[in-house]
Amino acid sequence: MTSAHGDAAELSAQLSEHMNGFLYSAALYTVTLHGVADHLAGGPRTPEELGELTGLHGPHLGRVLRYLSTREVFQEDAEGRFALTPMAELLRSEVPGSLRDSFLMLGDDLYWKPVGRLHETVRTGRTAFDEIFGAPFFAHLQTDPAAASLFNAGTAGFSHLVTEHVAQSYDFPEGTTVVDVGGGRGGLLRSVLAAHPRITGTLYDQASVIAEHQLDGPEVAGRWSTASGDFFASVPAGHDHYLLKSILHDWSDENCLRILQAVRAGMRPDSKLLVVDPVIPSGNAFDASKTIDVMMMAVYDGKERTQREFEEILTKAGFRITRILPTPSLMSVIEAVIA
């Protein structure tokens, strides 16, 4: 039987490991930034060999890899060489499902600095991002092309995890026209068009984002167009379906109302709105939406929402939820019509 003292010691050790969680993030960012996983694609290497290839200090790199191996990211063999694991494979560039760009985004100062001041955000009720960078998140991206490109690539990497699930979870009728509002590089629209070969779509975002679109592909040829603008002001009018994927969670309730009202103004009376976001479940069980919610709070002044919170904000904007469709991914599809 474990003594009360033993239980306390175990809990203390677990809590201490949690407290050091920022080291895990820093270690992942370090190996991703320097392309370590790509250098292991041909087989195991020693820290010294990896140091030569990356320009890093071999012994220090070895210690980082040893630490990551305790989390099943890389694996150390009896000869002190390190190899890829299934998780480490996802840190490689140009592989299906790669999260390399996403990890580069999350480990950058763009996220690292405001998250490091989460204690201030909880005290003040607003992100520290504006104070750190001199402007809110998306306004900052407009003045920093490198940060904007980093963000576009990083969000596209995460988008790959969900786009096909979302596209296959909603049945778009033949002949439907779809507008992907704030659709970034077009990952979701491309998946939707590929899954539904008899519909057409428009990718709508800022001109600088549209310029990096990924809609060139034979499976969607001739069925897409692009339009640029500000979704706080207007959207392309008169279409059947309007997609808002990972948009509302970036913004406060006040700003979400502005977006929703602009979309509503562009819709026909029979158009449908599809909000694609996580829906936070009740209870204490782990759910990734609860993790992401804190990130949204710290960096964007945004939030993930419960079903009740979605109902409240959509009602205020003049919509009525008709159904909520879960998908095999974290996302749900919230279908709404003009009330």
Residues that are catalytic:
249
User: For every residue of the chain, which 3-state class applies, written as one string?
Assistant: CCCHHHHHHHHHHHHHHHHCHHHHHHHHHHHHHCCHHHHCCCCCECHHHHHHHHCCCHHHHHHHHHHHHCCCCCEECCCCCEECCHHHHCCCCCCCCCCHHHHHHHHCHHHHHHHHCHHHHHHHCCCCHHHHHCCCHHHHHHHCHHHHHHHHHHHHHHHCCCHHHHHHHCCCCCCCEEEEECCCCCHHHHHHHHHCCCCEEEEEECHHHHCCCCCCCHHHCCCEEEEECCCCCCCCCCCCEEEEECCHHHCCHHHHHHHHHHHHHHCCCCCEEEEEECECCCCCCCCHHHHHHHHHHHHCCCCCECHHHHHHHHHHCCEEEEEEEECCCCCEEEEEEEC
Q: Who contacts 140 (Cβ-Cβ below 8 Å, separation ≥6)? A: 129, 133, 134, 147
